[in-house]
Amino acid sequence: MKKRTLITENNVIFAEINLEVMFGDSELNNNYIRVNGMLMDLSEPRVMGVLNITPDSFYDGCRSMGIESIVRRADMIFSEGADMIDLGAYSSRPGANDVSEEEEIARLRSALEVLKNKYPSAVFSIDTFRSKVAEICVKEYGASIINDISGGEMDSHMFETVAELQVPYILTHIQGTPQSMQKAPKYDNLRREVLLFFSEKVKQLRDLKVNDIILDPGFGFGKSLEHNYQMMAHLDDFEIFNLPLLVGVSRKSMIYKLLDTDPKGSLNGTTVLNTVSLLKGANIIRVHDVREAVEAVRIVNELRKNN
């Protein structure tokens, strides 16, 4: 079996990754994913705008419960230049209350019926860890991408469902659940454990013939402040997988706790970390503030042209 060894700065071997896992049967590299029957070019980074259909998301600037507010938020996201919308009906903030599957489906149905009618060709990602929710949103409403914060850990049928649906799948690293993940996150070796998690999960997905996989390191999902910045500092570790990389740090506690502020006061910190992420290879940034993210992408693209 062909393997590649990743070595730390101190010349200590801490992870061996199966090279066959990286590429599977796909002829595409990390510059492309198949979306709505077409190829989406990720050679220049894309911006994903957040639209939460929840009453308790950690940042109230993106909560939209009524139909009118949902449409207004979608209009703003697209008018400011986002390439796609990530639609979530289950708050994944630390300690969030559980939401029943029925309620999650009902919230998404009401939003998708309106949004797909107004934006029939738009790319909508569904932020869910439940396979039934994913299936309904793709089959009945033509959702384009499944964004699973649990990496398949919270629904044993998710990987098989995504394989059947043949839509891009965002594979997120998490330790615990939204209810428990930030109580006492602990790792013996953060980088090694996250890399091995992805190696194993990508292998499972490849075996099921899922080709369009996007990695999300899971900032804030079962990680302390120090864990988050360690992972950000070594974001280029994930290049070994040759898969698209999504980064979602928008207004998270890794920013406002460090800067002694709150989510509302975290826009500047968010833009800084988004820019760092782009420079370190992020293909998609998931954000609440689209205009600022689009500007960061434009600036980084211009820097690369002149490098």
* Number of helical (H) and strand (E) elements in the chain, helices listed first: 10, 12
Residues 218, 235 contacting (CB under 8 angstroms): no
Give the residue carrying structure tokens 């602990």. Answer: 186
In whole angstroms, what is the distance from residue 182 CA to residue 186 CA? Answer: 10
- Give the chain's radius of gyration (CA, Å): 18
The per-residue DSSP string of 109-139 comes to: HHHHHHHHHHSTT--EEEE-S-HHHHHHHHH
Catalytic residue among 107, 192, 223, 286: 286
Nearest Cα to Cα of residue 170 among 237, 266, 255, 84:
84
Catalytic residue among 63, 139, 252, 291: 252
Nearest Cα to Cα of residue 282 among 43, 38, 95, 32:
43
Counted residue by residue, the chain has a size of 307
305 assigned to active site: no
Cα dihedral 30/32/35/38 (nearest 10): -160
Residues 137, 108 contacting (CB under 8 angstroms): yes
Nearest Cα to Cα of residue 42 among 243, 287, 239:
243
Nearest Cα to Cα of residue 23 among 213, 246, 170, 280:
213
In whole angstroms, what is the distance from residue 112 CA to residue 250 CA? Answer: 24
118 assigned to active site: no
Active site amino acids: 252, 286
